[in-house]
């Protein structure tokens, strides 16, 4: 019985760490991650943000957002050239000015990921300039 409780506590702690990790803007030191890292992070974000899930079939994306922390995640799904990968964006305010920071991770083709990352970055910059 004691072993069962310890195992249960261990699983609870692991789940808690994963949910907290889902809130990190840059959870890994390098943009190149393993497919296991990609899947683990996706599950972590889903656990914390499932109610905000939006599936964009035409673009092969799953998106999530945390309005409280002004963060947005876009995970690729099968059929996307950069799959498996994700991009996280967050709104930051510095010296009274707002801007959007972007980070991304990939477990597939670096070239396909870089094209997608730059496309999203350009779209974000255009929206920022239109808003100002």
What are the tens digits of pLDDT across the range 79-118? 999 999 999 999 998 898 888 999 999 999 999 999 999 9
Range of the domain at 46: 2-131
Report H helices in the chain.
2-22, 35-49, 110-131
Task: Give the pLDDT score at 123.
Answer: 92
Domain count, the chain: 1
Q: 41 in helix, strand or coil?
A: helix
Considering only CA atoms, which of 84, 120, 83, 76 is closest in space to residue 102? 120
Helices 2-22 + 35-49 axis angle, to 10: 90
Task: Count CA atoms within 13 Å of residue 25 on its CB side.
Answer: 11
Give 120's contacts (C-beta < 8 A, 6+ positions apart). 74, 87, 89, 102
Tell me the two tokens of residue 25. 């803007």
**At residue 16, does pLDDT exceed 60?**
no
């Amino acid at each position: 019985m004691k072993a069962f409780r310890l195992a249960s506590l261990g699983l609870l702690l692991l789940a808690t760490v994963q949910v907290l990790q889902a809130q990190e803007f840059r959870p890994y030191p390098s943009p190149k991650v393993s497919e296991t890292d990609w899947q683990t992070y996706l599950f972590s974000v889903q656990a914390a943000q499932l109610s905000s899930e939006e599936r964009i079939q035409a673009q092969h994306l799953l998106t999530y957002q945390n309005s409280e922390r002004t963060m947005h995640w876009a995970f690729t799904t099968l059929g996307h050239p950069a799959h498996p990968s994700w991009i996280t964006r967050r709104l930051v305010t510095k010296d009274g000015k707002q801007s959007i920071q972007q980070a991304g991770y990939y477990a597939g083709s670096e070239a396909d990921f870089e094209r997608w990352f730059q496309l999203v970055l350009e779209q974000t910059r255009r929206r920022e300039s239109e808003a100002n």
